[in-house]
Structure 1
Amino acid sequence: MKAVKIRAYGAPEGLAVVDLPAPSPAEGEVLIDVEAVGVAGADVVIRRGDLAAYGFEPGFVPGSEVAGTVTAVGKDVDASWTGRRVWAFTGVGGGYVEQACVPLDQVLPLPEGLEPADAVTLGSSGAVAHFALEHARFTPGEAVLVRGAAGSIGVVAVQLAARRGASAVAVTTSSAERGERLRRLGATHVLDRSGDGGPDAPEGYDVVLDVVGGDGLPGVFDRLRPNGRLVAVGAVGGPPPADFGMTLMARFQRSLSFATFSAATVPAADLRAVREDQFAAAARGELVTVRHDVLPLDRAVVAHRRMDAGEVFGRIVLTP
């Protein structure tokens, strides 16, 4: 089968299409004929080499979520799964492939009306947005800022915050056109990347969800109201400055909070329940999935170039 590996960490050109042996499902696994692969910000961070300290080596296959049809099952898996359309979490990597073997407890059936490309646009990012708001202890009536709202996590976070009764949903983005698209998803205020948004923008926020990280993260603390909470859910802009905690300490009397959030800390049953609910909502048209583009698997380099350039609104999907 065809797969995409990271031949060399750094630029997108380090990705290479290779031939791998066709997999067979082990006990407790299903074999999925992959029809859609989600390209996530985490894939880009790994490919750049920013997480080299975690042991990623050349030959790694990126990608954490796929969708398609089950074509075979391993021992102790009900044969009725064969032929079912599913979404699956492949783990930290292993998703840029034509076929994937995945443990059954990481597989969800797709509801009628939800296409594989929509499932990988929503599956991981939707859960992160949901639980990040919970991690921030968001309550109705609070003002929310989503920094880096044009990405797949951001576009869901905007919708969820609006649906849950935020008094304001502000977003940072790079263009007026993107701002208008985010307004249609529920944003009430559009700011530039520095956080400025004109005289009608809220003076502060109770909750900030930050997808970007990078050098600009310390300045976001000044956007928080007293007792405000900033939750970092990504670092597509790179890590923050090593001393960014001093910025937080300098505002000690405002009782601000900073936290990171990873879906890896959420119980599997809770993740499953939220994903099932979001898939059903998307199938009914109540939750919007936003695809920037759909590209063949062998154009993964192009997808990563666009991610690096900050061109992507929503999610790029690869199709084997």
Structure 2
Amino acid sequence: MKAVAIRTFGPPEGLAVIDLPAPTPAAGQVLIETEAIGVGGVDALIRSGALASYGFEEGHILGSEVAGTVTAVGDGVAASWVGRRVWAFTGVGGGYVESAIAPVEEVVPLPANISPADAVTLGNSGVVAHFGLAHAHFVPGESVLVRGAAGSIGITTVQLAARGGADAVAVTTSSAERGDRLRELGATHVLDRSGDGGEDAPAGYDVVIDIIAGADMPAFFDKLNPNGRMVAVGIVGGPPPAGFGMRMFEAFRKSMSFATFSADTVPEPGRRAVRTEQFAAAGRGELHTVVHELLPLEQAVLAHQKMDTGEVFGRIVLTP
């Protein structure tokens, strides 16, 4: 089968299409003929070499979520899985392939009215958005700022905050066109990437969901209201500056909180329940996914080039 691996860390051109033997599911696993593969921000970070200290090596196969049809199962897995349309989490790798292996506990059946591309656009992003807001203790009537709202996590967070009764949902994005699209999805105020703009925007926010992190994170922490909560759900812009902790202590009397959130900390039954509900909501048209573009698996380099230039709104999906 064809797969995409990191030949050399660095720019997208370091990715290579390789041939691998077709895999066989082990006990507790299923084999999925992939129809859609999600391209995420963490894929770009791994490819760049920024996460090499976490054990990622050259030769690593990227991708963490796929959708397709189960074609075989390992020992201990019910044969009734064969032939079912599913979404699956493959781990922090192993997704950019024609045939993917996944543990059965990380496999979710898909309703008939959601496409494979929509499934991989929502599967991981929806869980992060849902539990990120929960981690921030968001309640109806509060104001929310979503920093980096043009990606699939941000797009889903905007919708969930609006559906959850937010008093205001502000977003940061790079263009007026993207801002208009985010308004259609539930945003009430559109700011530029620095957090400026929008004369009628709230002066402060009860909740900030930050997908970017990076050098400008302290400026967004400063936008919290007293008792406000900031949750970093991504680090696509790199870590915050070393002095970020001091910034928090300087605001000691405002009782503001900062936390990180990773879906890895949510027990599998909780993730499964949310994904099942969100897939159903998407099938009913109540939750919208945005697929930026479908590209063949062999064009993974192009997909990552588009990611690096910041032109993606929503998610790029690879198709074998």
Bin the TM-score by the shorter chain: over 0.9
SS at match of 2:222: helix
Rounded Cα–Cα distance in structure 1 between residues aligned with 2:240 and 2:304: 22
Is residue 109 from structure 1 mapped to residue 112 from structure 2 by the alignment?
A: no
Rounded Cα–Cα distance in structure 2 between residues aligned with 1:245 and 1:277: 37
Report the counterpart of residue 256 of structure 1 in structure 2.
256
SS at match of 1:4: strand
Letter paired with 1:286:
E
Aligned-residue offset at 1:199 = 2.1
Is residue 272 from structure 1 mapped to residue 272 from structure 2 by the alignment?
A: yes
Deviations, residues 188-247 of structure 1 (Å, cap 9, x unaligned):
000011111232010100000000111111111111000111100111112211221111
SS at match of 2:193: coil
Is residue 90 from structure 1 mapped to residue 101 from structure 2 by the alignment?
A: no
Q: How does 1:202-217 map to 2 (within 5 A)?
A: 202-217=202-217
Q: How does 1:153-168 map to 2 (within 5 A)?
A: 153-168=153-168
Deviations, residues 137-189 of structure 1 (Å, cap 9, x unaligned):
00000000000000010000000000000000000000000000000000000
Q: How does 1:1-320 map to 2 (within 5 A)?
A: 1-320=1-320
- After TM superposition, what 4+ stretches of structure 1 lie above 2 angstroms from structure 2? none
Letter paired with 2:267:
P
SS at match of 2:10: coil
Letter paired with 1:289:
T
Structure 1 unaligned spans of 5+: none
Rounded Cα–Cα distance in structure 2 between residues aligned with 1:77 and 1:230: 41
Rounded Cα–Cα distance in structure 1 between residues aligned with 2:249 and 2:103: 44
Rounded Cα–Cα distance in structure 1 between residues aligned with 2:116 and 2:303: 18
Identical columns (%): 71
Rounded Cα–Cα distance in structure 2 between residues aligned with 1:282 and 1:210: 24
SS at match of 1:145: strand
Rounded Cα–Cα distance in structure 2 between residues aligned with 1:268 and 1:76: 18
SS at match of 2:269: helix
SS at match of 1:144: strand
Aligned-residue offset at 1:294 = 0.5
In the alignment, is the contact (CA less than 8 A) between 2:189 and 2:198 conserved in 1?
Answer: no
Letter paired with 1:213:
A
Aligned-residue offset at 1:267 = 0.8
Using the TM superposition, name which of 244-253 and 281-290 deviates more.
244-253
Structure 2 unaligned spans of 5+: none
Rounded Cα–Cα distance in structure 1 between residues aligned with 2:310 and 2:244: 24
User: Given the two structures, how large is their TM-score scaled by the length of structure 1?
Assistant: 0.99
Aligned-residue offset at 1:289 = 0.6
Rounded Cα–Cα distance in structure 2 between residues aligned with 1:219 and 1:5: 37
Taking only aligned residues, the RMSD between alpha carbons, in angstroms, comes to 0.7
